[in-house]
Structure 1
Amino acid sequence: MVVKDRIMETALKMFRTYGVKGVTMFDIARDCGISKKTLYEHFEDKQSLINDALRELLNDHIQFAEKNHTETANAIEELVNQMQFIRSKARTLNPVMLFEIEKYHPDTWKEVELFRTDCILYGIKENLKRGMSEGLYRKNLDIDIVARMRQLQLEAAFDPIHYPADHYEMHKVMDEVTTHFILGVATLQGHKLAYQYLQIKEEV
Structure 2
Amino acid sequence: MIATDTVERIRTQANDLFMQYGFRSVSMDDIATKLGMSKKTIYQFYADKDELIDAVVEQVLLQNKECCVSDVKTADNAVHEIFLAIDMVVEMFSKMNPSLLFDMQKYHPNAFAKFQKHKNDFVYNVVKENIVRGIKEELFRADINIELIARFRVETMMLPFNPEFQSKVRLNMIGIHEGLMIQYLFGLASPKGHKLILKYQQERNKK
Tell me the TM-score normalised to structure 1 length. 0.92
Alignment of 1:124-143 (within 5 A): 124-143=127-146
- Counterpart of 2:166 in structure 1 is 163
1:113 and 2:152 correspond: no
State the alpha-carbon separation in 1 of the partners of residues 200 and 36 from structure 2.
44
- Counterpart of 2:186 in structure 1 is 183
1:123 and 2:126 correspond: yes
SS in 1 for 2:16: helix
State the alpha-carbon separation in 2 of the partners of residues 4 and 122 from structure 1.
32
SS in 1 for 2:157: helix
- Counterpart of 1:17 in structure 2 is 20
Q: Could you tell me how far 1:95 is from its partner in structure 2?
A: 2.5
Report the structure, 1 or 2, having the larger helix content.
2
SS in 2 for 1:9: helix
**1:1-46 deviation line (CA, Å, top 9, x unaligned):** 9222221111011111111112111100101111112211221111
**Residue-pair matches, total:** 199
Counterpart contact for 2:54–2:110, Cα < 8 Å = no
Alignment of 1:85-96 (within 5 A): 85-96=88-99
Alignment of 1:42-121 (within 5 A): 42-121=45-124
Q: Could you tell me how far 1:58 is from its partner in structure 2?
A: 0.9
SS in 2 for 1:137: coil
- Counterpart of 2:176 in structure 1 is 173
Q: Could you tell me how far 1:122 is from its partner in structure 2?
A: 1.1
Counting aligned pairs with the same residue, the percent is 29
Amino acid at match of 2:25: G
- TM-align CA RMSD: 1.7
Amino acid at match of 1:66: V
Amino acid at match of 2:142: K
State the alpha-carbon separation in 2 of the partners of residues 160 and 13 from structure 1.
22
Q: Could you tell me how far 1:159 is from its partner in structure 2?
A: 2.4
Structure 1 consecutive aligned stretches of length 4 or more whose deviation exceeds 6 Å: none
SS in 1 for 2:163: coil
Tell me the TM-score normalised to structure 2 length. 0.91
State the alpha-carbon separation in 2 of the partners of residues 83 and 14 from structure 1.
24
Counterpart contact for 2:71–2:85, Cα < 8 Å = yes
Q: Could you tell me how far 1:153 is from its partner in structure 2?
A: 2.0
Q: Could you tell me how far 1:107 is from its partner in structure 2?
A: 2.2
State the alpha-carbon separation in 2 of the partners of residues 95 and 49 from structure 1.
20
Amino acid at match of 2:66: Q
